[in-house]
């Protein structure tokens, strides 16, 4: 053990399964848990929707709530849950706490988008049309409120986290980079305490459009993430959710008397050229580089359901441990996928227990002592990441 070991002291989770670390453990550790699905609003696509949330519990000022769209409120809310869970809402801690956020591009103004498309049907001077609409229809304050770095800004304003702040963008890859960077800063002594995480709100047409333009979305009845190889569409079923963690150095956690959930060991990241290299080999190498124990290992997989990436991940993980694809129950959470995987891995380690099979047809039930977990995310299009999570 080292004073600069990275330990998890706070977890804030929101998904279709509910909110809070305890709620997610209770639901996911129970046999036979079924997903919460919304199949009508965005048919033919199925999504995992947000639960009912009382935003006032973490965002006290209505004015703060009004100037954020749902994805930002979701991120601020989950960050507050993590801070509460870590007992970190104290001025002296918040003033020195660093923050790393994995963010998307925010939610578009769909009414303005539709007005531009409607007008473009009858005009050929579309460059001029765009300029007209940008100057007359787009509200600058709304646009600014959706910039990804303002999710971090709103967390600072609402929760008074006022150390350094940085934001990464880039689908699953930014979530991987956020965890990797937070852990590296603590290990190097640059940070002693970091709030790190992300939020994703899929219940918005432009969020689904981005996936569909790439041919990634699953159509038709829901199936578990490992069973979408021959389904119509691209295999990805998205979900709304958020995951924030409070990471600390072991020394810092001990100084303030906090018992960690788990410790984060090596974090590995890659961006494999999937056209030129076998993805399963690259993922297998990534996982092997973590140096996990030979026995008693569970893999908390963020598999997306997109056939090529999911097949490669399953092949790479075969024999590495008991695999649990949590997207079957939460949906794919895009930027939040890796932070969510790490959070679920830490919860399992803290309880010393395997999750039951989320997909009993393809995942094996496992008993016995749990010695470590591996959190993985293989991006639906690019980026791969893995982290070793062990008892603290």
Please tell me the predicted confidence (pLDDT) of residue 144. 56
Cα 328 from Cα 226, distance rounded (Å): 8
Across the range 157-180, mean pLDDT stands at: 95
Cα 49 from Cα 223, distance rounded (Å): 16
pLDDT above 90: residue 175: yes
Please tell me the predicted confidence (pLDDT) of residue 146. 59
Please tell me the predicted confidence (pLDDT) of residue 135. 79
For CA atoms 173, 391, 188, 320, the dihedral sign is: negative
Q: Does the pTM exceed 0.85?
A: yes
Percent of the chain scoring above 70 in pLDDT: 96
Please tell me the predicted confidence (pLDDT) of residue 98. 98
| Residues forming beta bridges with residue 373, ordered by sequence position | 298, 389
Give the side-chain half-sphere CA count within 13 A for 156.
18
Among 20, 389, 379, which residue's Cα sits nearest to residue 175? 379
- The pLDDT tens digits for 292-341 are 999 999 999 999 999 999 999 999 999 899 999 999 999 999 999 999 99
CB-count burial class (<10 Å; 0-12, 13-18, 19+) for 31: exposed
pLDDT above 60: residue 143: no
Please tell me the predicted confidence (pLDDT) of residue 126. 85
Please tell me the predicted confidence (pLDDT) of residue 162. 93
Position 163 confidence tier, pLDDT thresholds 50, 70, 90: very high
- The pLDDT tens digits for 338-382 are 999 999 999 999 999 999 999 999 999 998 899 999 999 999 999
Please tell me the predicted confidence (pLDDT) of residue 77. 98
How far apart, in Å, are the Cα atoms of 81 and each of 9, 85, 115, 376? 12, 6, 39, 23
Please tell me the predicted confidence (pLDDT) of residue 261. 98
- The pLDDT tens digits for 14-73 are 999 999 999 999 999 999 999 999 999 999 999 999 999 999 999 999 999 988 889 999
């Amino acid at each position: 053990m080292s004073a600069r070991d990275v330990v998890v002291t706070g977890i804030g989770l929101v998904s279709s399964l509910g909110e809070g670390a305890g709620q997610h453990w209770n639901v996911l550790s129970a046999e036979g848990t079924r997903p919460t699905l919304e199949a009508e609003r965005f048919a033919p696509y199925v999504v995992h929707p947000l639960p009912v949330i009382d935003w006032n519990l973490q965002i006290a000022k209505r004015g703060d709530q009004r100037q954020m769209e749902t994805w930002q409120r979701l991120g601020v809310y989950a960050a507050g849950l993590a801070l509460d869970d870590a007992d970190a809402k104290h001025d002296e801690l918040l003033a020195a706490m660093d923050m790393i956020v994995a963010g998307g591009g925010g939610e578009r103004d769909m009414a303005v988008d539709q007005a531009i498309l409607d007008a473009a049907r009858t005009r050929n001077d579309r460059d001029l049309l765009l300029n007209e609409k940008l100057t007359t229809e787009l509200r600058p304050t709304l646009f600014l409120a959706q910039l990804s770095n303002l999710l971090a800004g709103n967390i600072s304003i609402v929760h008074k986290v006022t150390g350094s702040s940085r934001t990464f963008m880039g689908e699953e890859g930014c979530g991987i980079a956020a965890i990797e960077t937070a852990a590296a800063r603590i290990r190097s002594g640059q940070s002693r305490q970091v709030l790190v995480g992300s939020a994703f709100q899929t219940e918005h047409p432009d969020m689904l459009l981005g996936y569909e333009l790439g041919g990634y979305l699953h159509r038709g009845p829901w199936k578990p993430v490992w069973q979408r190889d021959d389904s119509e569409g691209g295999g990805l079923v998205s979900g709304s959710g958020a995951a924030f963690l409070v990471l600390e150095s072991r020394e810092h956690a001990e100084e303030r008397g906090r018992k960690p959930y788990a410790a984060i060991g090596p974090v590995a990241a890659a961006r494999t050229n999937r056209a030129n290299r076998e993805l399963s080999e690259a993922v297998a190498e990534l996982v092997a580089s973590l140096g996990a124990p030979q026995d008693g290992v569970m893999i908390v997989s963020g598999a997306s359901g997109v056939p090529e990436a999911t097949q490669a991940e399953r092949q790479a993980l075969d024999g590495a441990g008991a695999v649990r694809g949590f997207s079957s129950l939460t949906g794919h959470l895009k930027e939040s996928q890796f932070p969510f995987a790490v959070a679920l891995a830490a919860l399992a380690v803290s309880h010393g227990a395997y999750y039951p099979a989320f997909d009993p047809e393809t995942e094996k039930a496992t008993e016995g002592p749990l010695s470590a977990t591996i959190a993985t995310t293989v991006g639906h299009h690019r980026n791969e990441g893995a982290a070793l999570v062990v008892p603290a």
